[in-house]
Every structure is written in structure tokens, then in C-alpha cells.
Amino acid sequence: MEEARESDTSRHFLRQWIDEDHARGRTGGTVVTRFPPEPNGYIHIGHAKAVCVDFGMAKLFGGECHLRLDDTNPTKESDEYAENIKNDIRWLGFQWSGPGDAGEAGFYNASNMFDTMFQIAEELIRRGQAYCCNLTQDEWRDYRGVPEKPGRPSPSRDTDPARNLRIFHEMRDGKYADGEWCLRAKIDMASPNIHFRDPVIYRIRHVSHYHLGDKWCVYPMYDFAHPIEDALEGVTHSMCTLEFEVHRPLYDWVVDRMDEQGLLVVRNGVKIRPQQREFARLNITWTVMSKRLLLQLVAEKHVAGWDDPRMPTVCGMRRRGFPPAAIREFCDRVGVTKVESESDPALLEWCVREELNKTAARRMAVLDPVKVVIENFDGTRTVTKPNNPLDETAGSREIPFSRELWIDRADFQENPEKKFFRLGPDREVRLAGACIVKCTGFEKDADGKIALIRCTWDEGSWGGNAPDGRKVKGTIHWVDAATAVAAEVRLYDRLFTVPDPLRDGPERFLTYLNRDSLKTLTAYVEPALAQAAPGDRFQFERTGYFVADAKDSKPGAPVFNRTVTLKDGYKPA
């Protein structure tokens, strides 16, 4: 696991908020946050942002961040998703900590709190703070009304607690069908905040839960469950995205009721009242991030899986070769704000390049090979090149060199354009780290494509410089044909052809799928790459950053994914 470093650009409003509470002793000495994903899909770059905020703030204040699976909505949840969420968070460089509720430190399942939630609901009923209601969905909406005008009370609003308790138990015992009854908090039907107008807190759902099976056929609503989970875990600061801002009064209402029921955690003599604050979601252009749409891409096989390198998922970015430090840096640079905005994936790619420039080993690979024969060269020699010119500790490697080589087709022009300083008839070029060669002729195949380039070498130029001091401007990469290793290389492009694939609504986003987003080719790579371990990241000199594919790459038969090209015009503001 790579260590997440403390961010210095994170002096945002959430940090100030926590800082103040902590200083005033409201945390009982420990800042506790939580990351609460629903195990109904893989986490994506947007979740990574929340991970960086939730875990990052806890780390900054020396506190704890819980990982809580918010498994209160049983239909689409699974252990596969749960396991991958854990794996992805660890890979991003974070570790949950705290007591935990199932034998694993810092790890919680919302479903383990169902018993307590049910008891809290019973107590609300006893205290006349909740009632069972059998309005239909349409009636319920109609009674609730519009923000400008007070709503109307449900005919069940002022019924007897004993009767409500009986119905609530019958709901739990499976006597009713989905939607026949629900439990509502009795708050304020005239509130301008529609979420305050006697919200539903429990509903009937006859579905199996992925852990609890058929134990329950009533499930708590998010607005009821979330504050209870936070409070029971002793969370001090509960951060979420802006759409929950209007739900905050309800969050506080539930916490107040728990306080009345004596259920708040006391830490070092301080009663812990969890508080919610909201920040803007991370949105990125040229992709989609809703789990539903990502699932559709996978299910309909538009991509090879959740971890397809074109996906904005954390596992997709990992397979693409993005280092976790670059993803954290990106989340940091985007910052924490209260204003929705869209980020350019070019910023993320820029962060990836910055990181890989420092850390990736350099190698030579020829993606579109054409053969060069050096007619006056005999035997074999060895070129020694640094693994990373920016990092002396990275060492060096030896690369074989002999009379037949592969170079990239783009490095030869039969009729060189102006400003083309590479190889062409009667021209000289430097073979990186080796020597200077001059083109003496070439052959074409039946289609008119260059098939072979003939050269001679300047025997005094071993090491790269001309003995007479003449300037040779161009330097190209190469691979020795006798020892080269053939490798599958996958070039990825954006998955969509427009920055806003949802411009015509989610039903039509597939219209903008980029059908050319994957190109596969066979490259020749230097021998050192044959044994690349899955997940190893490299800079292919002059070409781009690549990673050995985590699934398909085998020792001796490597497969490389292009992570990013070497450069683009992007500069962060």
C-alpha cells in the first residue's frame, strides 16, 4: 500500500469546520469520519474524491475514518462489490480504523444496526413521534403538497401509539405487501422544506438482503438510517455531497431523537453529536459516472468489465496504470468546494504524467516497427541506459545492439518534410544511447510501404556523438531485432466522442460511444520488458507511459496498456 501524504491545499471549509469543533472539545478528543459506499457497484473517480476527503480529514486530525457499507437498500448489493470497494480504497492509500462492528477494525455494515434502528423506530412510535400510514404513493405525494403551500395531514397522523406499534410489528412480520403501509416521522406538514413533511422512515420491501437473507421485509430509509449509523459509530463529522444539504434538518432531527432516547455515544465525557456537511460532487467531462450507466456499459459489453482501462472506476484507472498518488493529487487540485463544476480529464492525465515522470522506468519499445540494417556493423554490442534519468537510485540496464534493428515507421520519411530531423535518404540520425547512422537506401513492399531501411554507421560515434563534432539533430529509439520481444500493446482513447455524453439524457448516452477507443497492435520491445510484472509501469521513450496489464500480461509474453501519451498541451491553471 502506498502511503497517502497530507495535502497542503486542503485548507477548505470542511477542514476549518472540523478544526474548530475539535479545538472546542466537541469530538471527545478524536475526529471520526466515515466513507459510506453502497455495495451496489464499483467505486469510481467521484468516490475516490469522497475517499480522499473522508479519510484525508481523519488522517489530518489524527482521527479515525470508518468504512461503512451502506447496505440498507438490498436489491443490487453483493459481496463482490463489497470486496472490491475495500480493495480499491486500500489501493488508493487509505486504511479504515476504529472499533468496527464485525471483528474487523474500522469496518461496519449498516445492516448490523437494523435491530437498533427498529428499536429506535418503536420508541418514536411510543413517544408519538412516528406513525404508520397507508396512503398510496400518489396520495402521499398529493397530501405532502408543494413547498409554497402547507401540506395536509395523513388521516393516520394522530392515531394511537399502541395501534401504530401493532401495525409496525405486522409490517415487520410480513403481513402486508410492499407499499401497503409505511412508517412516517411526525414532524411538520407545513414546513417549507418538503423533506420535513412527515418523511417516510421505514418501508416494506419483500426482498432478500445479501447478508441477512429474509430476516427483514421492512427496511429503513436513507434519511433515517444514515444519522443513526453515524451516531452509533460515534462519528463526529459526516461529509457528503451537496444534494443532501436539504436533508440536513432531518438528519439533525433524528440525532435529537437519539439524544432523547439516550443513545448518543459518550467519549471522554463528551456526548458525540454527529454533524453533516456537504461539498460539491466531482464531475468529469468525456465520461459518465453514475453506477447505473457504468453497469450498463459492462452488462452490454461495450467495455471488457468494470476494470476496463477506459472506465472511470478506480479498478479501471488502476488497470490503465494511473498511480494512486496521481489520483490523490488530482482530487487535491480539484479541491473541496460548495459549487458544482466539471473537471477536465486532462488535469487527471497531467497528474499521472507528473507522477510517472518521477517514478516510471524508461524502456524502448517500437510500436509500428520497420526494419533497419546497418550494413557495416558486425557482431553485437551493449548499450547501458539509465532506468530513470531523474532518479539515480533507479540504476541502469543493458540493452543489446546488433546490425538489424527495429525503428518506428514514423521516424523515417522518404521525402522528409521541413523540420523533420529524423531518418531519410542520405540523412543521419542518432540511435538513442548507441551511435549515429546514415540512410543509404530503402526497399518497399508490393503495396509501396517501406519494408527495409539500409544504413551505415559512423564507427567513431559509439556513445552517440560524432567524432568530428558535427551536429546530428535527431535522436530516435530502437530495439535490437535479434533479441526483441514481441508484445501486445493496447492503445486507449476516450470512451465517448463528446465532453457531455448525457447531453440528450441517459437513454441516449450510447450514441456518443467512441467505437475507436481501443486499438491493439504488436510492438517490439527491449528484452528487459519481457519479464515485466503485471502492474509495472514504464515510460516507453518518446512514446508514452505504459503499464503491464494486470490480467493478461504473462512473463515472456507481456501485454502493455497505454496509460497516457507523453505530452499534450494541457497545463493546470
Catalytic residues: 38, 281, 291
Alpha helices for 61-214 (secondary structure H):
79-92, 114-126, 137-144, 161-172
Query: Which residues 28-47 are close enough to bind ligand ATP by CB under 6 A?
Result: 36-38, 46-47
Q: Taking the complex as a whole, how short is the minimal distance between the CB of residue 18 and ligand ATP, in angstroms?
A: 16
Q: Taking the complex as a whole, how short is the minimal distance between the CB of residue 70 and Mg ion, in angstroms?
A: 7
Q: What pairing do the DSSP bridges indicate for beta strands 537-540 and 544-548?
A: antiparallel
Q: Taking the complex as a whole, how short is the minimal distance between the CB of residue 303 and ligand ATP, in angstroms?
A: 16
Tell me whether residue 290 or residue 456 sits nearer to ligand ATP (CB atom). Answer: 290
Q: Cβ(217)–Cβ(102) under 8 Å? A: no
Cα distance between residue 26 and residue 265, in whole Å: 12
Partner whose binding site includes residue 47, from ligand ATP, Mg ion, none (CB under 5 to 8 Å by kind): ligand ATP
Cα distance between residue 346 and residue 344, in whole Å: 5
Q: How many residues of this chain interact with ligand ATP, rule: CB under 6 A?
A: 14
Tell me whether residue 37 or residue 323 sits nearer to ligand ATP (CB atom). Answer: 37
Which three cell numbers mark 364? 524502448
Helix count and strand count (H, E) for the chain: 12, 29
Partner whose binding site includes residue 291, from Mg ion, ligand ATP, none (CB under 5 to 8 Å by kind): ligand ATP
Partner whose binding site includes residue 37, from ligand ATP, Mg ion, none (CB under 5 to 8 Å by kind): ligand ATP
Q: Taking the complex as a whole, how short is the minimal distance between the CB of residue 289 and ligand ATP, in angstroms?
A: 5
Q: Cβ(539)–Cβ(357) under 8 Å? A: yes
Q: Taking the complex as a whole, how short is the minimal distance between the CB of residue 432 and Mg ion, in angstroms?
A: 51
Q: How far is CA 348 from CA 44, 178, 478, 572, in A?
A: 13, 45, 30, 10
Burial of 65: CB neighbours in 10 Å, binned 0-12, 13-18, 19+ = buried
487 has which bridge partners? 523
Q: What pairing do the DSSP bridges indicate for beta strands 130-133 and 182-185?
A: antiparallel
Q: Taking the complex as a whole, how short is the minimal distance between the CB of residue 235 and ligand ATP, in angstroms?
A: 12
The residue among 165, 163, 174 whose CA lies nearest residue 204 is 174
Partner whose binding site includes residue 46, from Mg ion, ligand ATP, none (CB under 5 to 8 Å by kind): ligand ATP
Tell me whether residue 10 or residue 290 sits nearer to Mg ion (CB atom). Answer: 290
Tell me whether residue 9 or residue 380 sits nearer to ligand ATP (CB atom). Answer: 9
Measured in whole angstroms, the distance separating CA 523 from the mean position of its chain's CA atoms is 29
Binding mask 112-131 for ligand ATP (x = CB under 6 A): --------------------
114 phi and psi, to 5 degrees?
-60, -40
247 binds ligand ATP (CB under 6 A): no
Q: What pairing do the DSSP bridges indicate for beta strands 485-492 and 559-565?
A: parallel
475 has which bridge partners? 430
Binding mask 21-40 for Mg ion (x = CB under 5 A): -----------------x--
Tell me whether residue 38 or residue 549 sits nearer to ligand ATP (CB atom). Answer: 38
Query: Which residues 253-312 are close enough to bind ligand ATP by CB under 6 A?
Result: 281-282, 289-291
Among 18, 31, 42, 49, binds ligand ATP (CB under 6 A): 49
Cα distance between residue 219 and residue 221, in whole Å: 7
Q: Which residues bind Mg ion (CB under 5 A)?
A: 38
Q: Which residues bind ligand ATP (CB under 6 A)?
A: 36-38, 46-47, 49-50, 240-241, 281-282, 289-291
